[in-house]
Each structure stands twice: as structure tokens, then as C-alpha cells.
Amino acid sequence: MRVIKRIKWAGWVALILFSAVTLGAIYHLVSPEIEASSGTNQITEKEEKRQDFSEDASLNVRTETKETNTYTMSISMPTLKSKSLDTPIKEWIEQQKSVFIEEVERNNAVLSADNLAYLTIDLKVETAGELYSLLFTSYQYVGKGQPTQVFKTFTVNMRTGESVQLHDIIHLNDQTSGTIRTLIKDQLMGREEWKDYVREDVLNEKLSDLDDLKWSVNKQALDIFFDQYEVAAGSVGGIEMKIPLEALRSYLNPTLLNNAQLEHMTSIEKSQLDPNGKYIALTFDDGPSPKVTPRILQTLKQHGAKATFFMLGKQVETYPQIAAQVANDGHEIANHSYGHPKLTKMTSQEMIKEMSEANTKIEMATGIEPVLFRPPYGAYNSDVVHYAKMNDYSMILWSVDSLDWKSRNSAAINDIVTNNVTNGSIVLMHDIHASTAEALPELLVKLKAEGYQFVTVSELLMLQNENGAGPHFGHVS
């Protein structure tokens, strides 16, 4: 998805000064405290009321976390006022837990602090009129083999409390079913990252009864989900696709989804994020690196978090598989120049070469053409802005500098970030320092407990409806 941003000059200088002064001050005030790390079998439970989900609080979500010396578990547990759904949801979660625990016990010998098993079940809620769709994403690693991603969806009519099936919202007959099958197949076979990995016979089988599909609905689209390994090779990961309701309009059940409740998509690039949500874009610069990047990827996966990696062309050239892994995990890949020079000291020609060589290496390794550019050291002048814009890049700076490059201390990194983030922040970190990888698990737990979700920079810009090539900073309050 290309997000093209146009330049907004106003306020840059103020923002730079503000961030520099504030962060500088805070950095000096915060003494790096090492928290007494508690040992094993610690169980923490957090209650979190998500009133934005429903005005009458008929949907509450509680996050239960558990840490032992062999695994971590973080599970979002909703309580609905729906008898027909509360039980199946509970049963599904219990089943995920018990299968996981069994596997963990079986693999006990290979599990340790360096090889922790994990089960993370995240919940996303989408609404369309009276319909609430609950999407659970379960990320699991049992100590051996590859982590896996599994989806589960439930849709409920909040007025009646009844569970809703696909045939309740779409009039399914031979013709409409055929259209939906075609829409799904076209997307799977048409997308570069999926088409060579899809097993068509398995897919046809899965599409034979559309009521068996995992789906959720919002005001713009019907989303369809396939687990990792379900219809494609495991390397593809879980598959999520959107069918615009526009394409299904004449088949929709008018009592459940009438025109007034739906939003016409003005563009396929419309942000899917909740405008009332709290979002942060974590960014990692100067990698990929063989020692740190994989650790960061594992932590992000464990928390269902997405981030943006500003890669150096030189590093991508040396470690193309790690770059590809970052892309496969669904993170945003961005350009941070080829060799990390100070662009402001270069001729235009050298500058262009730095950008385009990095672009080429990234595209060769990941198949992705980045749309975001961050100049090394955040150093730019009008030439840098000009060439970034010419190449359709959005120039991205940051609003919170973790100073991880300076402190190399995980507690200090956590303090700076947690004390400075606000909704819409872009956080600068580096996936080349072990201390950054070390800081991340606790940081994500803390920020999640405050209600933050972690998205890519492009997603954040779409949500903020930002126009312009940049430079962009996260919101600074």
C-alpha cells in the first residue's frame, strides 16, 4: 500500500525544539532504575474496561497475563452480555490454553529464559450497525519449531445477543456464493506475497461451505481470515483480506446492514484503525542485525505488535534473510539510506545514490518497495526533502527518542519511552543494540496495559489523515 504524503512545513522547527528540550530535560531527571526483577511463576492480572466498544458496557475486555520460567501468556478475555457467545468464546480460549500448556509440558526440557514459550491471544473488535465482530488472533510458540498464528472470529447482534453467521448478513445462494469465492480467490492469487504459496485444492475445499469461513465485518468491509498453514505455506503466516462491502452491496441483509450504517469507502487506503484508539508507531533503525533483529521480531510477534524498520541498504545486502523475515512478519520496511552518511554534507548526486541503492537492496531482499525514508541522524535540508519527495517517499522523523544508542540500558530506555509517549507518537529505537531487545518485552507489556496498540508508521499516518511528504513527527502533546 503506498501512502504518499505531501509536505507540511508548519511547526517543524517548534516540534524539533520542543522534543529536544523536553527529552533532554527528562533524560537528565530520570535516573535509570533497575527494577527488582521478580522471579518465576508470577501471575499478574489486569482489568481494562473498553467502554469504546459499547456504550452500555455490554462488552468488557480483561487482559490476563501470566509469566513462569518456561512460558508467558497474555490473553484478552471479553465478557459479552450474550449467552449464545460467552460460552463458545470461553471454551475456545480454554482449549487454546490447554493445548498450549500440554505442549509446553512436553517440551519442558528445551524451554528456558532464552527460549520461552508464549501464548498471546489478542482481541480486535469491529462494529457495523448492531453487529459486533470479535477477532481473536492467537500467537503461539511452544519452544520448538515455528511460531504459529491462528484466528477465531465471532459476530454477535448486540441488540438481540444472538450469534450471527455469514448467511445472516449475506444472502447466500449459488450466484452470490460464487461471487464471494471469486473475490477471495482473486485476492489470494493476485497478491505477490501469497500467490506462489497458496494451495489451490485446499483453498477450494475451504471455500466449499462459506459459513465455515472466519470473518468479521465493519462499516467498510467484510474481512476474511485464514490461519497460518490453512490454505498456504506456513512462511506466509496468517492471511487477512478485505472484501469491500461495496462489492457485496446488493447481497447484504438490509435489516442488519443497511446503507445508513455503512460508510462508503472513499479509497482502499482508508485507515482501518479506530479513531478513538491509542496508537504508537515503534521504529527500529540501522538494522537488520543478526543478533538483535530476530529477538525484537520474536517479542513483537509475542505481543501481536507491528513496527517499522528503517533499514540500511548495506545491512540488508549482508543479511537479506533477516530483512525478508521482518517483511514476512508483516512489519513495515523503510529506507534509512545505504551506508548511514550525513546527507546534508553530500552532493545531490551522492544523496540520490544513497536513497536509491538502499531502495534496490531492500526490494531485492524483501520484494517491498519502501515508501518511507528517514535520513541518518535525522539530518536534512531542503535538498533531502526535495529528493525524498521526488522519489515518492514520505520523510519520517520521530517524536520520542528512546536514546537507546546512548544509554544502552534497558531500564533507562523503558523509562524514557513510557514517560514520553502519547497517542500518535513515533518512537525511535535501534535494532542493533542488545539492550534495546532486552527493553522491549517489559516496554510492550507496560504500554499495552496503558491501552496502547502498536502500528506501522504508514498506518499511523493514515489514521491521522496526514498529507505531505514530510518530515513527519508523531504527535507531541
Q: How many CB atoms lie within 10 A of CB 363?
A: 15
Residue 264 bears catalytic tag: no
Closest CA to 381 of 455, 471, 475, 253: 471
- In terms of CB distance, is 57 or 379 closer to Zn ion? 379
Stretch that binds Zn ion, among 70-78, 135-143, 166-174, 280-288 (CB under 5 A): 280-288
Binding mask 91-110 for Zn ion (x = CB under 5 A): --------------------
- In terms of CB distance, is 168 or 285 closer to Zn ion? 285
What amino acid is encoded at 19 in this protein?
A: S
For residue 358, the minimal CB distance to Zn ion (Å) is 12
For residue 313, the minimal CB distance to Zn ion (Å) is 12
- In terms of CB distance, is 93 or 428 closer to Zn ion? 428
Count of residues binding Zn ion (CB under 5 A)? 3
Stretch that binds Zn ion, among 13-21, 82-90, 229-237, 283-291 (CB under 5 A): 283-291
Based on the shown chain and the rule CB under 5 A, indicate whether residue 285 belongs to the binding site for Zn ion: yes
Tell me whether the omega of the peptide bond preceding residue 441 falls within 30 degrees of 0, making it cis: no
Closest CA to 364 of 388, 390, 338, 392: 338
Closest CA to 337 of 300, 373, 309: 373
Binding mask 367-386 for Zn ion (x = CB under 5 A): ---------x----------
Write out the H or E segment, with its range, that includes residue 437. helix 434-449
- In terms of CB distance, is 27 or 405 closer to Zn ion? 405
For residue 273, the minimal CB distance to Zn ion (Å) is 27
For residue 405, the minimal CB distance to Zn ion (Å) is 8
Cα 141 versus chain centre, distance = 18
- Report residue 4 as a C-alpha cell: 504518499
Query: How many whole angstroms separate alpha carbon 469 and alpha carbon 47?
Result: 40
Based on the shown chain and the rule CB under 5 A, indicate whether residue 401 belongs to the binding site for Zn ion: no
Query: How many whole angstroms separate alpha carbon 419 and alpha carbon 400?
Result: 10
Query: How many whole angstroms separate alpha carbon 459 and alpha carbon 72?
Result: 28
Based on the shown chain and the rule CB under 5 A, indicate whether residue 354 belongs to the binding site for Zn ion: no
- In terms of CB distance, is 271 or 344 closer to Zn ion? 344
Query: How many whole angstroms separate alpha carbon 337 and alpha carbon 354?
Result: 5
Residue 383 bears catalytic tag: no
Stretch that binds Zn ion, among 90-98, 185-193, 209-217, 284-292 (CB under 5 A): 284-292
- In terms of CB distance, is 126 or 286 closer to Zn ion? 286
Based on the shown chain and the rule CB under 5 A, indicate whether residue 286 belongs to the binding site for Zn ion: yes
Total count of residues recorded for the chain: 477
For residue 285, the minimal CB distance to Zn ion (Å) is 4
Provide the edge-to-edge strand list for the sheet that holds 221-226.
Answer: 214-217, 221-226, 239-244
For residue 376, the minimal CB distance to Zn ion (Å) is 5
For residue 238, the minimal CB distance to Zn ion (Å) is 31
**Residue pair 120/303 in contact by the 8 Å Cβ criterion:** yes
307: which strand partners?
282
For residue 75, the minimal CB distance to Zn ion (Å) is 36
- In terms of CB distance, is 168 or 286 closer to Zn ion? 286
Taking CB atoms, the residue at the shortest distance from Zn ion is 285
Helices (H) and strands (E) in the chain — how many of each? 15, 17
Closest CA to 135 of 41, 209, 214, 220: 214
Pinpoint the alpha helices (H) of 231-347: 293-302, 313-318, 320-328
Query: How many whole angstroms separate alpha carbon 272 and alpha carbon 221?
Result: 10
- In terms of CB distance, is 379 or 449 closer to Zn ion? 379
Query: How many whole angstroms separate alpha carbon 384 and alpha carbon 336?
Result: 12
Pick the catalytic residue: 430, 431, 433, 472?
430
Stretch that binds Zn ion, among 254-262, 264-272, 281-289, 378-386 (CB under 5 A): 281-289
Instruction: Give the SS3 label for residue 338.
Output: coil
Based on the shown chain and the rule CB under 5 A, indicate whether residue 431 belongs to the binding site for Zn ion: no
Residue 360 is given by DSSP the state H
List residues with catalytic annotation.
285, 430
Residues that bind Zn ion (CB under 5 A): 285-286, 376
